[in-house]
Amino acid sequence: MYTIGFVSEIITLEEHKILNFEQQISELVYDSRKVSLPEESLFFALTATRDGHDFIPDAYSKGIRSFVVNHITPFLAEKEDVNILIVKDSLLAMQELAKYHRTQFPNPIIGITGSNGKSIVKAWLTQMLSPDKKVYQSPKSYNSQLGVALSLWNLQASYDLAIIEAGISEPGEMDNLEEMVQPNIGILTNIGIAHAQHFENKKAKLEEKLKLFKRTELVIASSKYISKEELPAQASWTSWGVEETDSIQILQQEVQGNQSLLKLNINKEVVDFIIPFTDEASIENVLSCISLLIYLDYSISIIQDRILALKPLEMRLQLKKGIANSSIIDDSYSNDLASLKISLNFLQQQNQHQKRTLILSDMDGLKENNKLQHKLVDLLNTQALDRLVWVGEKYAFLEDIHIKEKNLYPDTSSFIKDLSNLVFENESILVKGARIYQFEQIVERLGLRSHGTVLDINLNALTNNLMVYRSLIPPHVKLMTMVKAFSYGSGSFEVANLLQFSKVDYLTVAFADEGVDLRMAGISLPIMVLSPDADTFESLIKYNLEPEVYSMRFLKEFLLFLQDRNIQDYKIHLKLDTGMHRLGFFPEEIPEVVDVLKKQNLVRVQSFFTHLVASGDPNQDDFTKYQINTYSEAAQILREGLGYSFIRHVANTSGIVRWPEAHFDMVRLGIGLYGVDMDRKLENLEQVSTLRTTVTQLKDLKAGETVGYDRKGVLLRDSKIATVKIGYADGYNRRFGMGVGKMEIHGQQTATVGSICMDMCMLDVTGLEVREGDEVIVFPNVMQAAKDVGTIPYELLVNISGRVKRVYYYE
């Protein structure tokens, strides 16, 4: 641990004001919402998408007193009790600190980069090395400029080895990462297409990645991806691949059931490995692992055993529905302080239940490490937790954790045996355990089962997309996000919790009921209701939902209602019809609206808006301009008539991208948030939802036989047919039948055969590598799928039936 005085010597300062040079610093904080040990925290005001300087008061209110800033803020200038370090660039300052800390680490560091597989190789290496080494791995996907600095900060000399992931999205980033990590050994997992758009070509991207290996003694990589000339001169190379010159040569590779057999030539010795996976990506990742263990002098027989024990690993935290209306956060694959913090943070974001339970296992190294024990106690004491279930040794320090209800168990099976005596209902439950505790057994008992078809919602992608659109609008423009229709099929409070945490300004639903559901789930953001009805006025008021007001009839009805209840200044959103001809006042009605509004104080116009009918269609740009102009004029008249200002908003997703002049005071983000880029203009949107199902049965059929109802699917050749568990009741449209629907199994394309049934359909998998139980991606390309059945992605997404389980994950 460093003192602030010491930190001030390590980083390049412009100026400083230090009250207490001896103040200990153990935590680096950049997000004022994520504070666990305020006294020992150093807050870095970063200026990425949002200006961290704006969050200094919040950090201060949570007890943080030490700050690294680019400039002094009025708030800080007034405070007497703070340490302030002023630097040119606060991110660079954090990196300087991380770099210094890294140079204090005496043992080898393995740096991993590549387009895919970084996290999995990191996790597998940890699994394989842990029986005899103390391994540090950078948490989750902390692989960016910021993430790597934070990962390095957590390094401690007691580790035998550290594995750090480095990811880049733009040219020029790797030099900086290399400076910090200074890896001794480098692993290049693979080179794919991820992030390719910023790079001129594959070669430029590869060159950038290889910069991580500037001073490594060894590089592990396939000869598929690089050649000797491309490597830095000082590095030796363990290459794997099919070439005779490869250090590890693949002689034979074949699938046997649900395993693969790999025959390798290692130092002129032929060795067989059984690998518990069949997909190409996993095999590549295993080859990286084998290469490193051989370099570290592990015997072949130990490597064979440990490879066989590898588990397909979910490197991610999942939120799913649990028994008795509970929510389960499943993070049962690793346990250390850094990842526990991330998961607890996610637990605190859940507003849907009052009660929060943590089921936690013992941690590696906890027994011997007093400091770690203190940190754990401090961390848990800052959390709003109602119950702790502890599985592991009964340490004395557990007494110091102030949580109302504590249940201690020596091991997982005794906890499971006692489950019938415990009540879990209406609560959020974080299940966080080290792998050896096999907490997946607990999740299995507390979670609701899914029936083979699941909609995966990637919350990281959602956050990413939010940032992408935020970066397109000026900072003063507010962001309204559309969560109507179950958030375009992605879920209600689960998505809203994240949006609330991400500090969007407004949520919008279609009907009052949807708003009520969000309020019941603890969402406190302002909510606009697009299509309110007179019979829901009561719930609007009760749940503080703000209606769209679209006609004189509706306005008068609402005013009468408010008068009856003696309510004043209720917020409403006036809708103008500039061409959609759905709901809204015509521009010529605005003077009359002003007249009515001026005579009362029951409602107040919170916002005034219109909807663009074809913001994404270049052929209609003249009409869009006409709409924007009409709106502007009407807004002017309304503003002058009312004598006060209101939020003006026009742009939906395509409007945000294509019509900067329509951003006004707020934008309404819809489909883009969910990762569908209707305009095909944005490079860094990520797909949010993936509909997955499974193969239930395989059949070999002869040419001339038929598949499905009415004998519609006539086979023209001998065929292999797979039945999968999705049908039109799940929202898989019947128009996808007869080969129109395309699905994907391990990256292989297949098409439907015959008609779509209610709960199932059949795929033609002739000639493909498919087994029963295999996973199937239903919409490999949702834009194309929509086109194939003559609709738009919106419809496919919102039609995914409620009976399809949603699983939210977060890395």
Q: Which residues here bind ligand PLP, judged by CB under 6 A?
A: 482, 530, 611, 652-653, 668-672
Q: Which is nearer to ligand PLP, 150 or 482 (CB)?
A: 482
Least spacing, CB of residue 571 vs ligand PLP, in Å: 17
Q: How far apart are CA 437 and CA 532, in angstroms?
A: 50
Closest Cα partner for 707 from 741, 757, 659? 757
Beta strands in 8-53 (DSSP E): 15-17, 24-25, 27-29, 41-44
Hey, what are 797's tokens? 């997404």
Dihedral sign, Cα of residue 484, residue 487, residue 491, residue 497: negative
Burial of 566 (0-12, 13-18, 19+ CB in 10 A): exposed
Residue numbers belonging to the annotated binding site for substrate:
582, 758
Q: How far apart are CA 239 and CA 406, in angstroms?
A: 52
Least spacing, CB of residue 508 vs ligand PLP, in Å: 7
Cβ-based neighbour number of residue 556 at 10 Å: 11
Closest Cα partner for 372 from 138, 156, 162, 153? 156
Least spacing, CB of residue 633 vs ligand PLP, in Å: 20
Cβ-based neighbour number of residue 396 at 10 Å: 7
Hey, what are 315's tokens? 């490197």
Q: Which is nearer to ligand PLP, 671 or 722 (CB)?
A: 671
- Whether 681 is catalytic: no
Phi, psi dihedrals of residue 190, rounded to the nearest 5°: -165, 170
- Whether 406 is catalytic: no
Q: Which is nearer to ligand PLP, 288 or 654 (CB)?
A: 654
Beta strands in 101-193 (DSSP E): 109-113, 135-137, 161-165, 185-188
Q: Which is nearer to ligand PLP, 19 or 583 (CB)?
A: 583
Specify the amino acid at residue 779.
Answer: F
Q: How far apart are CA 240 and CA 255, in angstroms?
A: 19
Q: Which is nearer to ligand PLP, 492 or 653 (CB)?
A: 653
Q: Which is nearer to ligand PLP, 541 or 613 (CB)?
A: 613
Least spacing, CB of residue 487 vs ligand PLP, in Å: 11
Q: Which is nearer to ligand PLP, 437 or 585 (CB)?
A: 585
Q: How far apart are CA 805 and CA 451, in angstroms?
A: 8
DSSP state of 51: B
Q: Which is nearer to ligand PLP, 373 or 487 (CB)?
A: 487
Identified catalytic residue from 341, 484, 575, 742: 484
Q: Which is nearer to ligand PLP, 27 or 548 (CB)?
A: 548
Hey, what are 689's tokens? 């939802």
Specify the amino acid at residue 416.
Answer: I
Least spacing, CB of residue 666 vs ligand PLP, in Å: 11
Least spacing, CB of residue 418 vs ligand PLP, in Å: 48
Least spacing, CB of residue 576 vs ligand PLP, in Å: 11
Beta strands in 340-426 (DSSP E): 355-361, 387-391, 405-409
Q: Which pairs from 290-296 meet CB under 8 Å and 24+ separation?
A: 290/240, 290/248, 290/264, 291/187, 291/220, 291/238, 291/240, 291/247, 291/248, 292/110, 292/125, 292/185, 292/187, 292/220, 293/128, 293/129, 294/238, 294/248, 294/266, 295/185, 295/218, 295/220, 295/238, 296/129
Closest Cα partner for 699 from 746, 785, 766? 766
Q: How far apart are CA 510 and CA 485, in angstroms?
A: 7
DSSP state of 647: E
Residue numbers belonging to the annotated binding site:
582, 758
DSSP 713-745: EE-SS-EEEEEES--GGGT--GGGTTTT-EEEE
Q: Which residue is nearest to ligand PLP (CB)?
A: 670
Identified catalytic residue from 228, 556, 699, 709: 709
Helix (H, G, I), strand (E, B) or coil at 254: strand
Do the Cβ atoms of 491 and 807 come closer than 8 Å?
Answer: no
Q: Which is nearer to ligand PLP, 442 or 461 (CB)?
A: 461
Least spacing, CB of residue 582 vs ligand PLP, in Å: 9
Q: How far apart are CA 206 and CA 303, in angstroms?
A: 29
Q: Which residues pair with 60 in a beta bridge?
A: none
Phi, psi dihedrals of residue 708, rounded to the nearest 5°: 85, 180
Cβ-based neighbour number of residue 759 at 10 Å: 15
DSSP 449-503: P--S-EEEEEHHHHHHHHHHHHTTS-TTSEEEEE-HHHHHTT-SHHHHHHHHHTT
Q: Which is nearer to ligand PLP, 670 or 731 (CB)?
A: 670
Q: What's the chain's Rg over C-alpha atoms? A: 29
Hey, what are 23's tokens? 């103040």
Q: Which is nearer to ligand PLP, 149 or 509 (CB)?
A: 509
Which residues are tagged catalytic? Answer: 484, 709
